[in-house]
Structure 1
Amino acid sequence: MSEPLLDVRVRAKRYDGRTVLADTRLTIHPGEIVSLLGPSGCGKSTLLRIVAGLDRDFDGEVALRGIRLDGPSPELGVIFQEPRLLPWLDVANNISFPQRARGEAARQAAALLDEVGLPGIKESLPKALSGGMAQRVAIARGLFSRPCMLLLDEPFSAVDAITRTRLQDLLLAVTRAHGMAALIVTHDIDEALLLSDRVLVMQAGEAGAGGGIVHELLVTTTRPRERHAAEDAPLRRVLLDRLAARSDRAATSAARTVPACPSC
């Protein structure tokens, strides 16, 4: 296999005196789609923010194409759970921000709107958009700097089921068209199996220890894939078993730390 496009090592990430991540290693290769799957509080979004350069208060390093990053990079397009569009700017200027949508920037913004299925709305304000349309604009904005990788933090969780399937298809189309890799944070096993080449299961640490990646699952199902396909059942069962086993262990560990009630 080729050298990793992205290589992340987090020896420790602490927050408010608590270790959130410990001894975590993440690599992603060119064109690969990887999902981070796990319960709330296990450090998925924290790890994504570290990769994006939005959180630099950790012990470790992030390297892209072998070069260490010390902050946000235009080669990493970030798409959040909410579109986070600036309400006073029209769609074209939201896509090109902080550049002004003029000349080549305006032409690129218009081309990206065509690509995400929203032609002709470049002068619209965010308040005129539906949730699905706003998230398509957010995807276009993430593509504007021509990144080599997209970082997505539960990007489709705030939209209805039909819009979600359309946005999932759009994500697969744009990553394929641009030859981009992607790192996706999700709680949804079926979404992870539909989109990913690899699924990384994360869990919080036990007894105050930092969490991290506890299991890796390769998804080799031929693309295009069917949603909820019967052939995915064994993979789905593995992920469910891994998540349940780690959750049960964490619950047992937590119960042991609760002091006994003297009157019970």
Structure 2
Amino acid sequence: MTGGAVRPEGPRASERAARPDGALMIEARSISYAYKETVALRDVSFGLPKGETLAVVGPSGCGKTTLLSLIAGLMPSTAGQLRVDGAPVQPRRPGTALILQDYGLLPWKTVRENVALGLRIRGMKPDAADQALREVGIADLAGRWPHQLSGGQKQRVAIARSLALGPDLLLMDEPFSALDALTREEMQDLLLSIWRRHRTSLVLVTHSITEAVYLGQQIMVLSPRPGQVVGLFRNPTVGDRRAAAFHEMVNRVRDALEKGVNGGA
């Protein structure tokens, strides 16, 4: 199945009941993006209901990061329509937070100062930084410097910095790719628990099929460049790595990815 808005079922009845009735956080209609003569994305359409999660997978260079940049308003699409929370996407939207692969921590600032940075830039009191640090489990590291942290701790700081701003849309670009396998699963569990508490709409770009199936209520598969939607799946197995349906979904996503790479053969 490709294109269009999908309303996937989550893993719990309480989660399904908590969702808004059909309002879209992101609506993309036939969006494309080209760097001069290089087309990165072509005719991408999808809808993400408020409070739900979308995982985007695809081969390297297929435009996954470009898609996040368009949603974040860092650059305009060259064709199509893209709306966030019912309005045309705008740069520096206050409710949108972007977490990059390299964490983006300033080495000359402490953990707390890094978490409070966005608040200070926006002229807000830094108090929310302390609550965010407690929520991601590193309040005891507030006075440390980035070079004193492990990779997982740095990622917790990056997540806390975004949470402190109270976003309604969280965009994550390969956030756990540099972590070892056990730490990566730990961070996936942390992200899932944060999402269940806050119901922040989430778009996660990843190369990991199992990560996409664990975290994405929707899973969108892109073809090699120019990135086009070759699969868009409802995923009822979010948060359950051991279910038989989880492994079935992993295989469905892998099949769609392989067909996209092989040109549908």
TM range (shorter): 0.7 to 0.9
Displacement of 1:180 = 0.9
Residue pair 1:37, 1:199 contacting (<8 A) in 2 also:
yes
Residue pair 1:93, 1:100 contacting (<8 A) in 2 also:
no
Residue pair 2:32, 2:80 contacting (<8 A) in 1 also:
yes
- Structure 2 counterpart of 1:186, which letter? T
- CA deviations over 1:21-71 (Å, ceiling 9, x no partner): 111113111111110011111111110111011222633443222112221
TM-score, structure 2 as length reference: 0.85
> Which residue does the alignment assign to 2:98?
78
In structure 2, relative to structure 1, the CA distance for the partners of 1:72 and 1:26 (3 Å cut) is: farther
Displacement of 1:224 = 4.2
> Which residue does the alignment assign to 2:85?
65
1:43 aligns with 2:57: no
1:156 aligns with 2:176: yes
- Structure 2 counterpart of 1:88, which letter? W
Q: Distance in 2 between matches of 1:32 and 1:172?
A: 11
Which range moved further: 58-67 or 181-190?
58-67
Q: Distance in 2 between matches of 1:98 and 1:191?
A: 28
Q: Distance in 2 between matches of 1:80 and 1:49?
A: 11
Query: Residue 130 of structure 1 is aligned with which of 150, 153, 159?
Result: 150
Query: Residue 218 of structure 1 is aligned with which of 228, 234, 240?
Result: 234
> Which residue does the alignment assign to 1:204?
224
Q: Distance in 1 between matches of 2:69 and 2:31?
A: 15
1:31 aligns with 2:45: no
1:192 aligns with 2:212: yes
> Which residue does the alignment assign to 1:14?
34
Identity %: 35
Q: Distance in 2 between matches of 1:124 and 1:239?
A: 41
Q: Distance in 2 between matches of 1:230 and 1:117?
A: 31
Residue pair 1:200, 1:216 contacting (<8 A) in 2 also:
yes
Aligned length: 244
Displacement of 1:230 = 2.8
Displacement of 1:163 = 0.9
Q: Which structure has the bigger radius of gyration?
A: 1
Residue pair 2:118, 2:165 contacting (<8 A) in 1 also:
no
SS for the counterpart of 2:131 is: helix
Where do 4+ consecutive residues of structure 1 move more than 4 Å? none
Cα RMSD over matched residues? Answer: 2.1
Structure 1: unaligned runs, 5 residues or longer: 253-264
- CA deviations over 1:138-186 (Å, ceiling 9, x no partner): 0001112111111010100011111111110110111111121100001
- CA deviations over 1:57-116 (Å, ceiling 9, x no partner): 633443222112221212111111111101111112211214449x97332111111100
Displacement of 1:241 = 1.4
Q: Distance in 1 between matches of 2:172 and 2:140?
A: 26
> Which residue does the alignment assign to 1:258?
none
Structure 2: unaligned runs, 5 residues or longer: 1-20
Residue pair 1:10, 1:21 contacting (<8 A) in 2 also:
no
> Which residue does the alignment assign to 1:245?
259
Residue pair 1:7, 1:28 contacting (<8 A) in 2 also:
yes
